Amino acid sequence: MIRERKITTNILLSIFTLGLYTIVWFITLTDDASSASEDSSMSGAIALLLTIITCGIYGIYWNYKMGKLLCSAKENVGLRATDNSILYLILSILSFSIFGLEIVNYCLMQSELNDIANAQ
């Protein structure tokens, strides 16, 4: 069972730690989405490692995959599911040219996970 997390707290921690907390948030998002969707194919630590090794290219795929996982997780708890994988994909590609845009994806994903946590 996943727990609700405050988006504003995550943003503030990310700012105050100069982006280091986003690593924790990335891992937590991945693990919570995998748990909620009952799909163990993604691990937060492995996704982070692959993103670092591929210089961010795996991170683009990760965003797409997270959209699919979150859609599946919403369906599992009986919520109206919207597949935002293309939106996450486009925002992640744009984040290479616009600094700080990746946090928008994290906020959107956390919002979906909070909906799932409230429905459980």
- State residue 63's pLDDT score: 95
Assigned domain for 98 exists: yes
Interatomic CA distance for residues 13 and 20, integer angstroms: 9
pLDDT in tens, 69-113: 999 999 999 899 889 999 999 999 998 777 778 899 999 999 999
Assigned domain for 2 exists: no
Assigned domain for 1 exists: no
Structural domain total, the chain: 1
Assigned domain for 66 exists: yes
Range of the structural domain that residue 70 is part of: 7-119
The pTM is what? 0.91
Assigned domain for 95 exists: yes
Residue 71 CB: number of other CB atoms within 10 A? 19
Assigned domain for 51 exists: yes
